[in-house]
């Protein structure tokens, strides 16, 4: 979109002079124009004099300042939209080298409010996935907004860090309150700056590598960074949330392609021959198989182990449905169905039946690297079983003989200390947060009212 030009004149004692000026730059540009993504490093068990060595969080370390920021907001919410306008203007004015990225519908709604260009996936570049360009994702909304943001990277093995502001109904996953947005963004932006995180600090012991291609430190000596250093003990903390890797197969064992919105148009990859992980998608919360509107109970056989020759049948579930969840998803649908609450740092899979016919069918917790297969039985009386990933239902259901194969995501590069998978969630740091527990325990007590007594107010 080319900005319009206009001519103006001014009067002076020397006569009338003409000059040209450009209109306000209310532009929407393609993310294809943006520079490639910057991959941060995640350092574990960094020990400073003021810190404990017992925490399990990671420290965020940018090799260069993040440039391309994706903003994801809750829809149809005026306070959230006002907050987004305030937030984005602050980021652009305080950190002028940043590029602001939005989803297409949001970009169309808000681009005229800014006097600088914004970026999105356009109709001409749907082949450019977000994960090739976005350095940092920040969300304004509730847990559903965070899940939606994660779904934009459903086919990406490496997800950018996520900075979330709780502006929804519950906000169990949201770490920050919006009034803290200036400090929160500053802390994330300068994590890794030589003045705020010294890899050669005599008291530090970094043990973990980065999550992407090797990069060297390229922090500029910029006036915009002055006064923003957090000090050597204040790198932003990362909670690495595991995801599920999900594949759907026909009765003959052929892998079926995923349909939008699972595989977003901007994420559809060229098929790779003989790649067992091709066309898998990732889920942050859970995958659900359910009878839907059908009046008959679902018949699902649960198999444990690697298909097709190293599987054992666990049981045939006769129930309304069945869930396979991550620890992050343990406080969502699985919890409502009677599943256990699992700490997000516990690498595991949760198998939770939904209203089973047998009273002895209890939820299970398995190691995350255990392959689990859910097969639709021929005895299933309904025509189809509905499949949902993180709350989004697949348009076409599954019929008899079809399978959903699930395994926990590998968050480490095999044989190395490098992080490549998971969803890096930025948590509040400092004080008790250095222990890596307060954000989770506080959520259980304050939001879920864990073991809240009946008939009492506190």
The fraction of the chain above a pLDDT of 70, given in percent, is: 75
List, in sequence order, every residue forming a beta bridge with 30; answer none if it has no partner: 120
What are the structural domain ranges in the chain? 28-241+420-446, 244-408
Predicted local confidence at residue 19, as pLDDT = 44
- Asked if pLDDT for residue 92 goes beyond 80, the answer is yes
Residue carrying structure tokens 């996520």: 162
In the prediction, which pLDDT does 444 show?
A: 78
Q: Quote the pLDDT of residue 433.
A: 40
Helical spans, DSSP H, in 46-142: 78-94, 104-110
Burial class, 160, CB count within 10 angstroms (exposed 0-12 / middle 13-18 / buried 19+): buried
Give the residue, 340 or 173, on which the prediction is more confident: 340
292 pLDDT exceeds 80? Answer: yes
Tell me, what's the pLDDT at 234?
A: 64
Model-level pTM?
Answer: 0.83
Query: What does the pLDDT average to over 1-27?
Result: 49
Q: What is the pLDDT of residue 174?
A: 73
Alpha helices in 18-131 (DSSP H): 78-94, 104-110
Average pLDDT, integer, range 38-50: 65
Place 226 in a pLDDT band, splitting at 50, 70 and 90. Answer: low
Report the range of poorest mean pLDDT among 125-134, 269-278, 388-397: 269-278
Q: Per-residue pLDDT tens for 396-442?
A: 889 999 999 999 998 877 777 777 789 999 988 654 444 444 567 77
For residue 124, pLDDT over 60 is answered with yes
Q: Residue 426 and residue 279: Cα distance in Å, rounded?
A: 28
Cα(336)–Cα(319) distance, integer angstroms? 15
Lowest mean pLDDT among 67-71, 231-235, 408-412: 231-235
Average pLDDT over residues 59-70: 94
Higher per-residue pLDDT: 126 or 32: 32
Query: Which band of pLDDT confidence, cut at 50, 70 and 90, is reported for residue 134?
Result: very high
The predicted pLDDT at position 216 comes to 52
- Across the range 163-185, mean pLDDT stands at 85
Identify the pLDDT of residue 294: 87
> Mean pLDDT across the stretch 209-220?
57
- Cis peptide bond N-terminal to 418, omega within 30: no
Q: Which residue has the higher pLDDT, 385 or 269?
A: 385
Is the pLDDT score of 458 beyond 70? no
Fold adopted by 28-241+420-446? Rossmann fold (3.40.50)
Per DSSP, the three-state class of 139 is: strand
Confidence of residue 223 (pLDDT cuts 50, 70, 90): low
**Confidence band for 449, pLDDT divided at 50, 70 and 90:** confident
| Least confident among 40-54, 173-187, 238-252, 391-405 | 40-54
Long-range residue pairs from 195-204, CB within 8 A, at least 24 positions apart, any chain: 195/229, 196/229, 196/230, 196/231, 196/232, 196/234, 196/235, 197/59, 197/61, 197/232, 197/235, 198/232, 199/43, 199/61, 201/48, 201/232, 203/47, 203/48, 203/49, 204/46, 204/47, 204/48, 204/232
Q: Which of 9-18, 212-221, 236-245, 344-353 is least confident?
A: 9-18
Judge contact between 176 and 165, C-beta under 8 A. yes
The pLDDT confidence band at residue 159, using thresholds 50, 70 and 90, is very high
How high does pLDDT run on average in the chain? 80
Task: Name the least confident of 151-155, 157-161, 224-228, 333-337.
Answer: 224-228
In words, the CATH class of domain 244-408 is mainly beta
């Amino acid at each position: 979109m080319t900005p319009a030009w206009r001519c103006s004149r001014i009067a002076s004692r020397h006569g009338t002079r003409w000059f040209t000026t450009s209109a306000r730059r209310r532009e929407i540009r393609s993310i294809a124009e943006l520079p490639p993504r910057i991959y941060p490093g995640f350092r574990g068990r960094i020990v400073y004099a003021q810190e404990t060595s017992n925490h399990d969080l990671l420290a965020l370390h940018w090799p260069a300042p993040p440039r391309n920021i994706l903003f994801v907001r809750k829809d149809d919410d005026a306070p959230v939209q006002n907050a987004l306008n305030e937030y984005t203007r602050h980021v652009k004015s305080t950190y002028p080298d940043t590029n602001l990225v939005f989803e297409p519908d949001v970009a169309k709604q808000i681009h005229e409010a800014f006097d600088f260009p914004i970026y999105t996936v356009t109709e001409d570049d749907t082949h450019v996935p977000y994960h090739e360009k976005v350095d940092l994702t920040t969300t304004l909304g509730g847990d559903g907004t965070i899940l939606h943001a994660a779904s934009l990277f459903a086919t990406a093995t490496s997800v950018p860090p996520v900075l979330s502001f709780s502006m929804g109904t519950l906000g169990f996953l949201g770490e920050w309150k919006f009034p803290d947005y200036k400090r929160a963004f500053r802390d994330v932006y300068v994590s890794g700056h030589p003045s705020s995180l010294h890899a050669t600090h005599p008291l530090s012991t970094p043990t973990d590598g980065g999550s992407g291609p090797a990069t060297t430190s390229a922090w500029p000596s910029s006036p915009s960074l002055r006064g923003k250093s957090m000090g050597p003990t204040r790198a932003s903390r990362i909670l690495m949330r595991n995801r599920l890797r999900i594949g759907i197969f026909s009765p003959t064992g052929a892998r079926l392609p995923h349909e939008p919105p699972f595989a977003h148009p901007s994420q559809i990859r060229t098929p790779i021959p003989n790649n067992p992980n091709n066309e898998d998608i990732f889920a942050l919360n859970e995958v659900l198989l359910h009878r839907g509107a059908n009046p008959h109970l679902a018949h699902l056989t649960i198999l444990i182990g690697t298909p097709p020759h190293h599987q054992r049948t666990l049981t045939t579930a006769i129930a309304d449905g069945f869930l396979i969840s991550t620890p992050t998803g343990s406080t969502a649908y699985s919890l409502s169905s009677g599943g256990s609450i699992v700490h997000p740092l516990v690498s595991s899979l949760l198998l939770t039946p939904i209203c089973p016919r047998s009273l002895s069918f209890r939820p299970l917790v398995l190691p995350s690297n255990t392959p689990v297969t859910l097969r639709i039985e021929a005895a299933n009386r309904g025509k189809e079983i509905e499949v949902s990933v993180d709350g989004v239902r697949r348009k076409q259901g599954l019929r008899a003989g079809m399978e959903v194969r699930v395994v926990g995501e590998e968050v480490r590069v095999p044989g190395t200390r490098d992080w490549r998978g998971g969803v890096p969630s930025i948590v509040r740091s400092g004080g008790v947060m250095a222990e890596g527990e307060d954000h989770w325990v506080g959520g259980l007590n304050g939001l879920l009212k864990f073991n809240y007594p009946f008939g009492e107010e506190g």
